[in-house]
Structure 1
């Protein structure tokens, strides 16, 4: 049987348990019959309406937090693009035939994203397992024991929710510290002699997604030369930010004495071998010689820099690509390539958060970048950087960090 032979609408209706589809605005887009049956609602009472208008918290119970907890979960899924399973929730449902009459219910919800081609959440799958009958069945063994069990389950659910909240606050604080560390270590925009440069760093959305993206500009010894680099450390939070700082500093120092970018990456790779967390980090570095109008470059597993010529031609510098840092047990000399440029050209380096999207081939992202750079090539680097980020990053923010550096040659 192939996909075309499967009636997915029928499968959706036959799913066990209550399943609903919500828009990013938390409006009901669809649901299966089991959801309507379990919620005691008709389809026209739900479709097109906001979740919390159809199912508010019980106003007669000041301790009712079921829908507030659910909203927090759904917001997390929208922000991170990741599934979120909730602790057992007590949530009362109003009888549609008897307004003001609320029935005590217990639910076990799970929320998952449906992603579009650009990696953004286009729908939320809200799945609910009702466990009210299980609670009642256990409680029927004795009213005293039922009350104890009910209180125990409710308190345990509250404790788990509070623990989740504390963990999220702790991760949020870690995110703030990691961002501050990154900003302190990354150079500000600068004038490169008679040439202008623009730099941008955009952190990923979500409290856990601060990554180890970095960039650097280094004045090189001998003539009018500049080293420009970007890199990406695997991992999240403070550990990734710390490794990022070590690699950036090491490459900055190495570039000043290396014969070329390949030798700089050779030395950096040996250094990465003794730095915990540096394995599989990617980096690309370019040496610009303004006197001779040449660019030498070398890449360790990183997306290729882009050279935008004044006539609109776009050249990806992809002829010296090698595996990421510390990827080989016995390191080999890195490859190096070069190209020429004319005055007024633009060199662009970036990290993968700018071009990669879930379920999309990387060539699509590279083509999107080339098109944007070609159309905006005559703008100054600051305006060009803003235009590229506006056109390539999702409106709600990306799920990976993005570093971008643009140098007008």
Structure 2
């Protein structure tokens, strides 16, 4: 959500920032609504003041035995008019709020301008791509013999659902536990088990509603299945005023996630890359504004550390304005190398949202030795998407006989198992 006061102060700068994201100028329409709302507020205040003044004059007229008929008529008219003004002001205010809520976050100055993923900028490449003495296979060719049962999952639930069993299930569980253990033990994230069902307000706060309702699953009682643990973890501070001493807050959760993928029709219909139901370890940070730049780098480094520990080659990309998410002011994508596909694929997105989400959910903190409050800054990142990490391990650690070597850091989670053998 944007601050209308900042738009008033510099509408040209606001429109210029929107232009970087390919969004049409909006300041004129927003300021017209704002002016209309403020005019109605002034009109209501003036009418109320006149009503009070006239009411006093009626008392004085009666004391003088003067005829108060005209004053009584005026007060009656004002009494009738005030609710109408209030209703009109409320309607205009709601229209303004809805208009502000539909506009994406403004990109930070260092975000490259671009139209889509082809304009993203490479920041760094890490690790060495494995060399094979055979032609590496894609995960959907390796996975079925290890327990990725695409056919049964689709038979019971439809497309983009997979039954995971046997070795694949064990590997999947080991990956999620390793990620969560790393973030909590080494990086100070507080582990959480959040609700998987949330109300409208929670999805509005993190920016999925109202714009992206079609990408969500809704239950018959009107709640929503979470698309990511970012939603409940960020909403921990919704409507709260924190003390500065409480910051930063860092949360991590391993949860199931649910996405209808309405905006991804036809993409990755094979395999385990893009599912309606998947597991992900999510990181969320709540910080003071002056700390958010460093926190963004810290969070991204945490995700990178997990990939490095798993021995997976990857690269960091800075997303351009046309490829960033709705709430992001800057996003780093981590893309893991998949030798079967012969390309890098996204495995984590780490974003700083500045105060955009905090304004939507009214999350504030009170700086030390200051009377007022400020909005916190929120950040979120994948640490990592478990299913996509499983895909990366299958493809990077595959052997010619169809088995898959186990990364060293996962062996304790698999009781020392060195290799997953196909059945």
TM-score (norm 1): 0.25
Q: Where is the strand percentage greater, Structure 1 or Structure 2?
A: 1
Higher relative contact order, chain-length normalized (CA < 8 Å, sep 6+): 2
Q: Where is the helix percentage greater, Structure 1 or Structure 2?
A: 2
